[in-house]
């Protein structure tokens, strides 16, 4: 009977020493002399490689020739305690089957130390590097932590639609979805495109947020969260924006803005704590490679209470900072990344939750404060990242919400179903959106959002 494969993550187990084992994976490096060769094999299950020791009395040069970086192997042999430093055990090869070769002349990951920019150009192969292996394993663990957190708190996972007919979500420019013939679309008499003939009988787009539907779920199930892809066609070529990203949006009936802040803080700390506990090797690798302070920064966020501060106070701090900002500060401005980072990195040196923004710079559905000028918004600002979460207590009052919709000329035909939540059994409720990739950025210490999603979608870039 064939020997069962052991994943490399499970091979560093003292109980297996002396056993015959089977491993499968890709060659990271091969070195050695004319008596013995060493192959570092990785199978993606862990950042660690297992060392395969090849005695040249048992294998010919000809047999070993195709074993170059990137080749895929099936190796069987005895697991033995290792003399070499940096590893606890290694495999004395008895049989080697080569699944696939990787021509050294053309395999792009031949040597170590490629720049992240170069690796973006070979995004189809970069998961095979140590860096992207680490990032993608951490990403998986964070996704799992998110589901675990909400499940343990009794939230229900609600799947909201990706194709939407409402263009009033207001969170950004949208990608249109259509099956009409782009070269020759049906037209109305006035020359405009006749969308009644389109697939859905109306104009549709990819969603920029699942929140509005999330509110329908929350006012039925009590507490829900969404976790799905989100699309924004903004042409913002920044290290923190993608055209396709993943968002987590909890929405909770009966929560006010304070409950909402408590939930956001507990949630984000839970995710960071989970990663520190379950992704130790990968985080340490990234810390060593890119960011010596990574673990310290994660621990710091985990163990410190976030500052909570009204927007108006933040403006005063920025005005009195003596700092020269590219975008000047005054009450009413939408804060830029430079302002957010000044507050978080220089002034408080802690994550900050800013609340009570001017209504003009926030979405129509946010609850109006008694001052008539500000709304119960909350943005969570993080070191290195800036805004990681945006949320609010929602306007639960039908008349006030309607007034806001009319003020902003949002077409009512798109909004009737949303307003029904306020017509029938309306309740105070709150929610927020966490950008998943911004969380992964923070936890991995990477600095460009293109490096924390397997296949980034950005302006002019959808190759792989
Ligand atoms: P920003 O001001 O950073 O562009 P936003 O205020 O437009 O973000 P929201 O509409 O509040 O974003 O979305 C909620 C969260 O989704 C943000 O706090 C952020 O973490 C994330 N997010 C928003 N836009 C993007 C994007 N283009 N790429 C990746 N994440 C995003
Ligand atoms: Mn926001």
What are the beta bridge partners of residue 81?
89
Contact 365, 374 (CB under 8 A): no
pLDDT tens, residue by residue, 166-191: 866 566 789 999 999 999 999 999 99
Q: What percent of the chain has pLDDT over 90?
A: 92
The highest-level CATH class for domain 126-173+208-451 is alpha beta
pLDDT tens, residue by residue, 79-120: 999 987 777 899 999 999 999 999 999 999 988 789 999 999
Helix axes 257-278, 280-290, angle to 10 degrees: 90
Confidence bin at 224 (pLDDT 50/70/90): very high
What are the beta bridge partners of residue 253?
429
In this prediction, residues 303-327 reach a mean pLDDT of 97
In this prediction, residues 22-49 reach a mean pLDDT of 97
Q: What's the whole-model pTM score?
A: 0.96
In this prediction, residues 240-250 reach a mean pLDDT of 97
Contacts of 280 (CB under 8 A, 6+ apart): none
Confidence bin at 347 (pLDDT 50/70/90): very high
Which pLDDT does position 92 carry in this prediction? 98
332 CA distance to ligand 2 middle (Å): 15
User: What phi, psi does 358 have (nearest 5°)?
Assistant: -55, 140
Retrieve residue 108's tokens. 């792009």
Dist CA 408 CA 271 (whole Å)? 37
Which pLDDT does position 171 carry in this prediction? 64
Q: Does the pLDDT value for residue 410 go beyond 90?
A: no
Dist CA 309 CA 179 (whole Å)? 47
**H helices, E strands: number in the chain:** 12, 16
Which pLDDT does position 170 carry in this prediction? 62
Q: Is 182 helix (H, G, I), strand (E, B) or coil?
A: coil
Domain ranges, ordered by start, for the chain: 8-100, 126-173+208-451
Alpha helices for 279-361 (secondary structure H): 280-290, 294-303, 311-319, 337-341
Q: Which fold has domain 8-100?
A: OB fold (Dihydrolipoamide Acetyltransferase, E2P) (2.40.50)
Contacts of 397 (CB under 8 A, 6+ apart): 422, 426
DSSP per residue over 244-292, as a string? EEEEEEEEEET--HHHHHHHHHHHHHHHHHHHHHH-HHHHHHHHHHH-T
Which pLDDT does position 235 carry in this prediction? 77
Q: Which ligand is nearest to the CA of 433?
A: 1
Which pLDDT does position 1 carry in this prediction? 72
Distances (CA, A) of 179 to 162, 203, 403, 462: 16, 10, 36, 20
Ligand 1, atom 21: closest residue by C-alpha: 435
322 CA distance to ligand 1 middle (Å): 28
Contact 314, 364 (CB under 8 A): no
258 CA distance to ligand 2 middle (Å): 18
Confidence bin at 414 (pLDDT 50/70/90): confident
Sign of CA dihedral 36, 41, 46, 48: positive
Which pLDDT does position 168 carry in this prediction? 61
Q: Is the CB of 250 under 6 A from ligand 1?
A: no
Confidence bin at 149 (pLDDT 50/70/90): very high
- Residue among 174, 227, 246, 247 to mutate when testing ligand 1 (max atoms within 8 A of CB): 247
Q: Which residues of 124-153 are buried (b: 16+ CB within 10 A; e: fewer)?
A: eebebbbbbbbbbbbbebbbebbeebbeee
pLDDT tens, residue by residue, 246-273: 999 999 999 999 999 999 999 999 999 9
Which pLDDT does position 413 carry in this prediction? 77
Contacts of 167 (CB under 8 A, 6+ apart): 174, 203, 205, 414
pLDDT tens, residue by residue, 153-166: 999 999 999 999 98
Mean pLDDT of the chain: 95
Q: Is the CB of 388 under 6 A from ligand 1?
A: yes
What are the beta bridge partners of residue 394?
366
Q: Which atom of ligand 1 is nearest to the CA of 379?
A: 18
Neighbours of ion ligand 2 (CB under 5 A): 390
Which pLDDT does position 218 carry in this prediction? 98
Ligand 1, atom 2: closest residue by C-alpha: 387
Closest CA to 222 of 436, 433, 431, 435: 431
Which pLDDT does position 138 carry in this prediction? 98
Which pLDDT does position 86 carry in this prediction? 72
Contact 329, 318 (CB under 8 A): yes
Closest CA to 379 of 213, 228, 229, 268: 268
256 CA distance to ligand 2 middle (Å): 18
Alpha helices for 6-90 (secondary structure H): 61-64
pLDDT tens, residue by residue, 114-145: 999 999 999 999 999 999 999 999 999 999 99
């Amino acid at each position: 009977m064939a020997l069962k494969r052991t994943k490399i993550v499970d091979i560093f187990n003292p109980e297996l020493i002396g056993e015959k084992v089977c491993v499968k994976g890709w060659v990271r490096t091969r070195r050695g002399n004319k008596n013995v060769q060493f192959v570092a094999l990785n199978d993606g299950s862990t950042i660690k490689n297992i060392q395969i020791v090849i005695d040249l009395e048992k294998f010919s040069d000809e047999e070993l020739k195709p074993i170059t970086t990137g080749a895929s192997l099936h190796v069987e042999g005895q697991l033995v305690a290792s003399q070499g430093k940096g590893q606890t055990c290694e495999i004395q090869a008895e049989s080697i089957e080569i699944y696939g070769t990787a021509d050294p002349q053309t395999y792009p990951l031949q040597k170590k130390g490629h720049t992240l920019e170069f690796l973006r150009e070979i995004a189809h192969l970069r998961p095979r590097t140590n860096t992207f292996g680490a990032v993608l394993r951490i990403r998986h663990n964070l996704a799992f932590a998110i589901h675990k957190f909400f499940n343990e708190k009794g939230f229900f996972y609600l799947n909201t639609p990706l194709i939407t007919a409402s263009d009033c979500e207001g969170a950004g420019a949208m990608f249109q979805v259509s099956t009409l013939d782009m070269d020759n679309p049906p037209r109305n008499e006035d020359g405009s495109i006749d969308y009644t003939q389109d697939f859905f009988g109306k104009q549709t787009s990819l969603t920029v947020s699942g929140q509005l539907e999330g509110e329908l779920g929350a006012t039925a199930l009590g507490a829900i969260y969404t976790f799905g892809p989100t699309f924004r066609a903004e042409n913002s070529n920044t290290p923190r924006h993608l055209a396709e990203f993943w968002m987590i949006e909890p929405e909770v009936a009966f929560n006010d803005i304070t409950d909402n802040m408590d939930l956001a803080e507990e949630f984000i700390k839970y995710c960071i704590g989970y990663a520190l506990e379950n992704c130790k090797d990968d985080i340490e690798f990234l810390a060593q490679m890119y960011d010596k302070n990574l673990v310290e920064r994660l621990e710091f966020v985990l163990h410190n209470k976030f500052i909570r501060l009204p927007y108006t106070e933040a403006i005063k701090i920025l005005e009195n900072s003596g700092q020269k900002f590219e975008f000047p500060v005054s009450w009413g401005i939408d804060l830029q990344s430079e302002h957010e980072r000044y507050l978080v990195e220089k002034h408080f040196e802690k994550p900050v939750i800013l609340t009570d923004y001017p209504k003009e710079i926030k979405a129509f559905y946010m609850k109006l404060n008694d001052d008539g000028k500000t709304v119960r918004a909350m943005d969570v600002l993080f070191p290195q990242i800036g805004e990681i979460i945006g949320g609010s207590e929602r306007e639960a009052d039908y008349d006030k919400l309607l007034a806001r919709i009319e003020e902003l000329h949002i077409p009512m035909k798109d909004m009737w179903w949303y307003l029904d939540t306020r017509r029938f059994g309306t309740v105070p409720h709150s929610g927020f959106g966490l950008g998943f990739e911004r969380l992964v950025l923070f936890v991995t210490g990477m600095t460009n959002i293109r490096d924390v999603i397997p296949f980034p979608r950005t302006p002019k870039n959808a190759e792989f």
